[in-house]
Amino acid sequence: MEVTIDKNSGYCFGVEYAIQMAEDEMRDTERLYCLGDIVHNDMEVKRLSEKGLVVIDREQLKCLRDCKVLIRAHGEPPETYKTAIENNIELIDASCPVVLKLQHRVKTAFDKMEREQGQIVIYGKKGHAEVIGLTGQTLEKALVVMEDKDLEKIDFKRPVTLFSQTTKSTKGFYALKAKIEERIKEAKGTLTELDFNANDSICRQVSNREPQLAQFSQANDVIVFVAGRKSSNGKALFQVCKGINSRSYFVESEGEIEGEWFATEDKVGICGATSTPMWLMERVKDHILSKSMDSIVAG
């Protein structure tokens, strides 16, 4: 049996940077607070909690004083920074540079839309940490849209500026863009640059993984996709694998692997989400190889 880990899988730059900042900080302190799970992977969260990383929510943040709090890669709304100043909290800001740039673009566009009685629309998942940071740039006035039914929130007779959560599907973004354009034409009878401005703000390091994973899935007999069940990126990327290779399996850890998935002659590919640590994929590989050797010896 041949087992290969996808070289393009694992942490994106933003997540890797945030975890490195957390580990560097914890070398000098016994406890570091983190606003939300640093990554959507329970095993990595557990590993870091054993080193002293304590996960808190925004309500708990309001009760803290005179301490250090890490802001993860997803970024935060302005309210978080205000609370930190009021409570003498030192922020270790690990916001992804791509997300910070997008926050600035959204804020600038929002100020323009306010002058023109327009609307900011964000293609993303309502309640997602990054989306909370983006809507915070608009005084919570941005409209979050992901499904067709969400389009009813938009007034198509007023100007619309569209952005995307950085980790969403490129295909989904352009499908939404086309639907908004059509609805504006129906409402106004025309479509100009003043009516609609669409900004493809998807991170290419993330979106490029879809075609890469499609090729990887085709090149292997069996795919073992490793990700946390809370990872929306993981769910989306697994569907890419499953669509290409029906023998694709989603696991959180090596303990969920079933021996019946494999045959001795199979080429097995291991891959994961932008929130999947490489050490976990390596552990899954070692587990599959050891089980393979056990079955050969038993046979």
Q: Does the annotation count 130 as an active-site position?
A: yes
Could you tell me which residue, 257 or 295, shows the higher pLDDT? Answer: 257
- Whether residue 296 has pLDDT greater than 70: no
Q: Which residues contact 101 (CB under 8 A, 6 or more apart)?
A: none
Q: Is the pLDDT of residue 35 over 70?
A: yes
- State yes or no: pLDDT of 253 exceeds 70: yes
Catalytic residue among 130, 193, 256, 265, which?
130
- pLDDT tens, position by position, 82-125: 999 999 999 999 999 999 999 999 999 999 999 999 999 999 99
Q: How far apart are CA 103 and CA 134, in angstroms?
A: 6
- Residue 77 above 70 pLDDT? yes
Residues 6+ apart with CB under 8 A from 259: 291, 295
Q: What confidence tier does 298 reach under pLDDT thresholds 50, 70, 90? A: very low
Residue 299 has pLDDT above 50, yes or no: no
- pLDDT at 295 (0 to 100): 57
Q: Percentage of the chain surpassing pLDDT 90?
A: 82
The stretch 229-233 carries a mean pLDDT of 83
* Residue 293: predicted pLDDT: 53
pLDDT by residue (tens digit) across 169-188? 888 999 999 999 999 999 99
Domains of the chain: 2-9+207-298 (3.40.1010.20), 13-96 (3.40.50.11270), 98-165+168-201 (3.40.1010.20)
End-to-end CA distance of the chain: 15
Q: Give the alpha-carbon dihedral of 154, 109, 147, 239, to 10 degrees.
A: 170
pTM of the model: 0.86
User: Which pLDDT value is given to residue 15?
Assistant: 92
The pLDDT score that the predictor gives to residue 179 is: 97
Choose between 204 and 185: higher pLDDT.
Answer: 185
pLDDT band at 29 (very low <50, low <70, confident <90, very high): confident
Contacts of 121 (CB under 8 A, 6+ apart): 142, 143, 144, 145, 154, 160, 161, 162, 163, 180
Q: Residue 14 phi/psi, 5° resolution?
A: -65, -45
Mean of pLDDT values over 213-232: 94
